[in-house]
Amino acid sequence: PVPPSEFLPAFEDAGAMGTLSAFMVKQALGALRSWDDNDVYIPRVGVNFSSVELANPGLIEAVQEQLATFDIGAERLCIEVLETVVANEVDAIVVSNLAALSQMGCGIDLDDFGTGHASITSIRRFSIERIKIDRSFVSQIDEDQEQQDMVLAILMMAERLGLSALAEGVETQSEEAMLARLGCTHVQGFGVAHPMPISETLGWI
C-alpha cells in the first residue's frame, strides 16, 4: 500500500487534486448506490476535500451532477475538511462553497481536530456538524490518563457546541472500549476495519 503522505504530494505536483476529488466523490456515491441496490442501508459516506478543490468555482455544480447521476440525496454525502484549512485565512470561494454544500444538505466534518488550531468562531462560520478527533489524541488512550483527559475535554466542548464527535485512528478493542466509556460513540480506524475493495464490503457489512 502507498500511504496518502506519499501519493497526495504527487497529485498536488501534477495539478490533479481536482481530478482526484471528483473520482473519490464518484466512487463514494457509487458505493452508496451499490449498497442501496443490495438492500444494505449505509446512512452516509465521507469524502475528504482538499483546499484546492474547495476553491474550485465549479465545485457545487460538479457535486450536484454526481448526486443526480447516482440518485443520492445530498444529506448522505459528508464533506471532510482538514482543520488546517479553516484555521488559516480562507479564500472567499472556499467559504462560499462550504456554505453552499451545507445548504444543500451535505454534512461538514472537521478532520484531524486538535492539530490545526481552528477557533470556535471558525467552527460556527463553516457550519461544522462533527469534529473528528485526531489520532494523536487517541493512540494508547486506554493506557494514558492524559490522553483520556484531553479527549474528555474535547467531547465536553463538542457537546456544549451541539456537535457530534468521532475518534480517528482507533486500532485496538481496548482503545475503542475506553472511548465508549468517555462518551465517544463514533470511531474509525484499523480496529474497525482496514481499507478494502468495494467488492468485499457487502460481506464485511
Burial-class residue 205 by CB neighbours within 10 Å (0-12, 13-18, 19+).
exposed
Do residues 154 and 113 touch, judged by C-beta distance below 8 A?
Answer: yes
pTM (whole model) above 0.85:
yes
What tens-digit pLDDT sequence spans the chain (205 residues)?
888 889 989 998 998 988 888 899 999 999 999 999 999 999 999 999 888 889 899 999 999 999 999 999 999 999 999 877 777 667 788 889 999 999 999 999 998 887 767 667 778 778 899 999 999 999 999 999 999 999 999 999 999 999 999 999 999 999 999 999 999 989 999 999 999 999 999 999 9
